[in-house]
Amino acid sequence: MKFKLLNSERIFKGRVFTIRRDNLRTPDGRITKFDIVEHHGSVVILAIDNDANLLLIRQYRHAAVDDLLELPAGTLDAPDEDPAHCAGRELREETGMAARKLVELGKFYLAPGYSTELMTVFLATDLYDNPLAPDADEFLDLEKIPVAEAISIAEAGQMPDAKTLAALLMARPHLHAYLK
Helices (H), the chain: 83-95, 147-155, 162-171
Q: Which residues pair with 31 in a beta bridge?
A: 25
Tell me the mean pLDDT per 10 residues along the chain, length 180. Answer: 93 93 96 96 97 96 92 94 97 97 97 96 97 82 97 96 97 89
17 and 37 Cβ atoms separated by less than 8 Å: yes
Q: By three-state DSSP, how is residue 65 classified?
A: coil
CA pair distance 14, 176, nearest whole angstrom = 41
**Strands of the 4-13 sheet, one edge to the other:** 4-13, 18-25, 31-38
CA pair distance 114, 91, nearest whole angstrom = 27
134 and 96 Cβ atoms separated by less than 8 Å: no
Q: What is the pLDDT of residue 5?
A: 96
Instruction: For residue 63, give the amino acid letter.
Output: A
CA pair distance 121, 2, nearest whole angstrom = 29
Q: What is the pLDDT of residue 180?
A: 67
CATH topology of domain 42-103+119-175: Nucleoside Triphosphate Pyrophosphohydrolase (3.90.79)
| Domains of the chain by residue range | 4-38, 42-103+119-175
